[in-house]
Amino acid sequence: MDQYKVYGNPIKQSKSPLIHAEFARQTEQAIEYTAQFSELDEFEQDIANFIKAGGKGCNVTVPFKERAFKLADKVTNRAQLAQAANTLKFLADGTIEADTTDGAGLVNDLLANQIPLTGKSILLIGAGGAASGVIEPLLEQAPAQLVVANRTLNKAQQLADRFLDKGNISALGFDELNQRYDLVINSTSASLSNELPDIPATVFTKSGFAYDMVYGDKPTVFVEWARQNDVKLALDGLGMLVGQAAESFCIWRGVKPEILSVVDKLRNGELTK
Ligand code: ATR
CA of 127 from ligand 1 middle (Å) equals: 7
Type of residue found at 172: L
Q: Each residue of 38-51: b (16+ CB within 10 Å) or e?
A: beeeebeebbeebb
Once rounded to an integer, what is the mean pLDDT over residues 40-49?
98
155 lines ligand 1 (CB under 6 A): yes
Count Cβ atoms below 10 Å from residue 4 Cβ, excluding itself.
27
On average, the pLDDT of the chain sits at 96
Q: Check residue 273 and give its pLDDT.
A: 66
Confidence of residue 129 (pLDDT cuts 50, 70, 90): confident
Distances in whole angstroms, Cα of residue 213 to Cα of each of 33, 76, 130: 23, 23, 8
Ligand 1 neighbourhood includes 196 CB (under 6 angstroms): no
DSSP character for 163? Answer: T
With a 6 A CB cut-off, is 190 part of the ligand 1 pocket?
Answer: yes
How many angstroms separate the alpha carbon of residue 271 from the centre of ligand 1? Answer: 31
Same fold: 2-100+239-267 with 103-236 = yes
Specify the CATH class of 103-236 in words. alpha beta
Domain ranges of the chain: 2-100+239-267, 103-236
Mean pLDDT of 134-149: 97
Answer whether residue 176 shows pLDDT above 90. yes
CATH of region 2-100+239-267: 3.40.50.10860
Best substitution site from 61, 102, 189 to test ligand 1's pocket, by max atoms within 8 Å of Cβ?
A: 189
Distance CA 87, CA 259 (A): 18
Tell me the catalytic residues.
65
